[in-house]
Amino acid sequence: MLDADRYLKQAIALARENVERGGRPFGAVLVMDGDIIATGVNGVVETHDPTSHAELVAVRDAALRRRSPILKGAAMYASGHPCPMCLAAMRLAGITDISYAYSNEDGASYGLTSAALYADLRKPFAEQEMSFTYRPVRPEGEEDLYVQWGRMQTG
Amino acid sequence: MLDADRYLKQAIALARENVERGGRPFGAVLVMDGDIIATGVNGVVETHDPTSHAELVAVRDAALRRRSPILKGAAMYASGHPCPMCLAAMRLAGITDISYAYSNEDGASYGLTSAALYADLRKPFAEQEMSFTYRPVRPEGEEDLYVQWGRMQTG
């Protein structure tokens, strides 16, 4: 069996165990240099944390244990199509090798799809289903926040 | 002073305190019904967690304390333009009222912008700077994961 298929089966097995505990059917396996460096399952039902998605949990766990926010070279195997939050989290961590076993179409009839959110987030900000407002507030009498930060980087 | 400006100044003050502790210049204030229900700062430098962004931290904290992954009606005030991960996290939590004080353009010369990631994530998946592969692996001899989940929802 291909390694990719083996890892995806592990991600599905994690998702299944999570379902049996009352959770949502999502699991993820993060691999680097042939080793599983972290796994995750969807913990939204159990923890109430809306960011507790399988892939994000695996990214966080790997980063904390490796003491590095960058996980370049890691490959993510997710049971389901990553949602926009998880995809962006992986990209922030430098993860660019992503495989998944269930598509948004596979999950659509179960409500297990992020296709609608993806579609909205692809629109220009002003056309998305939200109010997104730039208010360039600058506290008076203080050094500008970004100038301060820039100065501290070079100092 | 408008409430929005006051909350944005608080977000900037949180960001500034974070910079003084060696962190990145991002803070966020989450408000519901006129009360601040959570705040967050960027903890990436301190924790090594690449998902420890101000807005995501505030969403998680509010959800954990309210024991609900849905924070409909909350308004986010962020010092900087939310990144794609944080924007999606807010949308997953039902937060659709978002204001920010520093734009990606304001931050560009300091490297404090997620514009490039936004631009890539707006492309079709196959054109993004990643390998994104659907492998419809299905373990043999087992009930399908999503069928199992669907059965347990209605059962």
* Model pLDDT, residue A154: 77
* Model pLDDT, residue B155: 60
**What pLDDT, in 10s, does the model give residues B65-107?**
999 999 999 999 999 999 999 999 999 999 999 999 999 999 9
Mean pLDDT value across residues B143-151: 96
Which positions of chain A have pLDDT values less than 50?
none
Mean pLDDT value across residues B46-65: 98
List the single residue in A with minimal CA-CA distance to B14: A145
What percent of chain B shows pLDDT beyond 70? 99
Query: Out of B46, B55, B105, B127, which one is annotated catalytic?
Result: B55
Q: Is A55 a catalytic residue?
A: yes
According to DSSP H, which parts of B1-155 are helical?
3-20, 44-47, 54-66, 84-92, 104-108, 115-121, 145-154
Is the ipTM of this structure higher than 0.90? yes
* Model pLDDT, residue A151: 93
Bridge partners (DSSP) of residue A35 are A32
For B52, the token pair is 């420890």
Nearest-CA distance B114 → chain A (Å): 10
Q: Which helix (H) or strand (E) holds B8?
A: helix B3-20
* Model pLDDT, residue B2: 87
* Model pLDDT, residue A149: 96
Closest CA to B60 of B91, B89, B97, B27: B89
Cross-chain CB nearest to B98 (options A48, A132, A149): A132
Are residues A47 and B70, on separate chains, in Cβ contact within 8 Å?
A: no
* Model pLDDT, residue A1: 76
Mean pLDDT value across residues B114-127: 97
> Band of the pLDDT at B8, cuts 50, 70, 90?
very high
* Model pLDDT, residue A155: 60
Nearest-CA distance B149 → chain A (Å): 6
Q: Are A49 and B11 in contact (CB under 8 A)?
A: no
* Model pLDDT, residue A105: 98
**What pLDDT, in 10s, does the model give residues A55-90?**
999 999 999 999 999 999 999 999 999 999 999 999
Are residues B134 and A81, on separate chains, in Cβ contact within 8 Å?
A: yes
Q: Which helix (H) or strand (E) holds A55?
A: helix A54-66
Cross-chain CB nearest to B149 (options A25, A83, A120): A25
The single-letter DSSP state of residue B28 is E
Residues A94-111 as b/e (b if ≥16 CB within 10 A, e otherwise) read: ebbbbbbbbebebbeeee
Cross-chain CB nearest to B49 (options A64, A79, A129): A64
Instruction: Give chain B positions within 8 Å (CB) of A106.
Output: 136, 146
Q: How far apart, in Å, do the first and last CA atoms of chain B sit?
A: 54
